[in-house]
Chains A and B, each alone.
Chain A
Amino acid sequence: MEPNYEALEDEHTLELPSEPMRLNMGPSHPAMHGTIRMVLDLDGETILDVDVQPGYLHRGFEKSCERGTYNQVFPYADRLNYVSPMLNNVGFALAVEKLIGLEVPERCTYYRTVLGELARISDHLTCNGATAMELGAFTPFLWLIKVRDWVWDILEQETGARLTHSFGRIGGMAAPPTDGFKESTLAIFGEIDHAMMESEALLMKNRIFLDRTQGIGNLSAEDAIAMGCTGVVLRSTGADYDVRKAYPYMFYDRFDFDVPVGHDGDNYDRFVCRFEEIRQSMKIIRQALEQMPRSGPVVADDLRYVMPDKREVYSTIEGTIAHFKLVMEGLKPPPGEVYSFTEGGNGELGFYIVSDGSGTPYRVRCRPPCWYNLQACRDMLVGDMIADIIPTFGSINMIGGECDR
């Protein structure tokens, strides 16, 4: 291609000739948020087309589930969205309980709600902190990760593990809440509020941050719905679909909370929506802790599906038999298939489970919210500049473990 000679009078307006260039970004690019490859067709720095290629973190989650018992899925489920593992645990437990038709005690449901919302807070704190860091604002990242660690401290106090809890069980949770659960949870809320307030004070009037997020990575509501987007990516476009409100599961219909929606579906809206969701999650946790019974069981009383107490195993024949059957064969849901969905960190996290009546799932399909959100990434990126990939991709919050399974 030849230069544009017509603009020769003014050298500063000289259009440099360019031809479309193909550029690989990823799978291990230092600025990319996950292990993913993007093949870009560029005109200068403008993105003409992008081919997003996931799959680098594929571990065969669905295949692995087909050879263990139902309770053995929980460690795998932890590693789906590893920024909010508790939500995956709860989501899978609810799916199998729906398949069985098992009711869990009220205290367990409240406990799941609180732990799940804590996981959502940690998910959104991570995403927004990382987005700010990738745009050059390192301080908010440190502040938000600091409070996220305190959230993880609570989860560690409850479950014994910071990240991969494996705490869910079919029919309940592995252990009851600790004595100081309510107090320690409420104690960090002030700090989370403070960290978010300070981060917003740094970012929301920052010209660099605003220029790189506002109007970048736009997505329309019609496109988002047709692409199957859910979660913050969908809500930022103005569609108010939140599973907790639209199809209330657990006790979400008992809580007073709002669903924040955006307007333009750009990076800025997604960022603001996430911060607002953290506030709503804290509101939910406050109400749930208030309503949660102080005592009572956290597992259902059904020896066909739930492990008996150790004292019963060693002292009664029924307990021994139930323990043996559950360990050797696993719990056996009746044949059938269900699709159960919850609001995960990134959107609708669904589990489609087919049971053939044996102790091993016949098929477990995880509907990963990231998968469909990432698919819309091409629509968001085409026409923007190459540097806009970083904030746009960051604000989708693609989690490789969940997307690729």
Chain B
Amino acid sequence: MGKKVVERLQKDLGAAVLATSEHRGDFEVRVAKKDWKRAATLLRGELEMDHIIDLTAVDYPEREPEEPRFELKLILRSSKTGHRIRIATRAGDGEKVDSLTSLWRGANWAEREIWDMFGIPFEGHPDLRRILMYPEFEGFPLRKDYPIGKTQPLVPYREVEGIEKLPPFGDDEGQPWGRIDWLARLRGEEVQVSPAIGQQTGGRRALSSGPEHDGPLPEAKE
């Protein structure tokens, strides 16, 4: 099913195609890391392989140092012609690979997962952070040298910026909407208590930029 695509890639990319293989009906083309994006652009554009099926990686640590240890696999399908093809490339530890998010938006999470699980960084990825693991996780779990029984250190409480903007806003249980008498506020009155709810105990600040009220509350209007 992918034979024509393989032939076309060999014709257009020439020496950039390092190896091709066919096993049980799966066609695979391996390109060098520097041609990764070029091959993908060709596939996305002229060859109409618009449906990204999967992007994943395999770790072969014993290949080092002669060959890079990671092998990336991109599985594509064309929604127009129905062809399927697998593209592979190799990358060493810490080597950056061109991101394919500009070609297939679906590559976004797949690349984040590869970064999370194998520690392969992607150049040009808009939002490269861990996705399945938490940010404090140490190591890359799907590497072959990550022991399956490894224990992770405990994570201290996080410092979160801007958390004061999270609800609840007020001094009471929150939900300031609907309780503020906006008309009274527009008249310039200091107290902002909804006539529907009535006077509340304790001072209550306006939602954003109203005057702050610290003294005792006046009587609520009927």
Chain B contact residues (Cβ within 8 angstroms of A): what range? 35 or more
Contact B23 A338 (CB under 8 A): yes
Contact A54 B167 (CB under 8 A): no
Among candidates A58, A62, A66, A339, residue contacting B75 with C-beta atoms closer than 8 Å: A339
Interface of A is mostly: mixed
Q: Mark B44-74, 1 if CB is under 8 A from A, else 0.
A: 0000001111101011000000000000010
Q: State whether the Cβ of B162 lies closer than 8 Å to any Cβ in chain A.
A: yes
Q: State whether the Cβ of B209 lies closer than 8 Å to any Cβ in chain A.
A: yes
A222 — nearest CB in chain B belongs to which residue? B50
Expressed in whole angstroms, the Cα–Cα distance for A58 and B104 within the complex equals 25
Among candidates B73, B82, B146, residue contacting A246 with C-beta atoms closer than 8 Å: B82
Among candidates A363, A367, A372, A404, residue contacting B58 with C-beta atoms closer than 8 Å: A363
A375–chain B nearest beta-carbon distance, Å: 5
Known A367-B53, A372-B106; judge A63-B141 contact (CB<8 A). Answer: yes
Q: State whether the Cβ of B11 lies closer than 8 Å to any Cβ in chain A.
A: no
Q: State whether the Cβ of A160 lies closer than 8 Å to any Cβ in chain B.
A: no
- Note all chain A residues with C-beta closer than 8 A to B217: none
Q: State whether the Cβ of B158 lies closer than 8 Å to any Cβ in chain A.
A: no
Known A11-B183, A239-B79; judge A339-B86 contact (CB<8 A). Answer: yes
Q: State whether the Cβ of A21 lies closer than 8 Å to any Cβ in chain B.
A: yes
Q: State whether the Cβ of A241 lies closer than 8 Å to any Cβ in chain B.
A: yes
Contact A350 B132 (CB under 8 A): no
Contact A352 B73 (CB under 8 A): yes
Q: State whether the Cβ of A304 lies closer than 8 Å to any Cβ in chain B.
A: no
Q: Mark A61-97, 1 if CB is under 8 A from B, else 0.
A: 0111011000000000000000000000000000000
Contact A350 B75 (CB under 8 A): yes
Known A17-B208, A352-B75, A365-B54; judge A338-B26 contact (CB<8 A). Answer: yes
* CB interface residues, B 144-188, toward A, < 8 Å: 146, 148, 162, 165-167, 177, 182-183, 185-186
List 23 interface pairs A-B (beta carbons < 8 Å), by A numbering: A3-B185, A17-B207, A23-B166, A24-B166, A54-B131, A54-B132, A55-B131, A58-B133, A60-B141, A63-B142, A66-B148, A67-B148, A101-B24, A225-B51, A226-B52, A227-B104, A246-B82, A247-B1, A338-B24, A338-B26, A352-B56, A363-B59, A365-B56
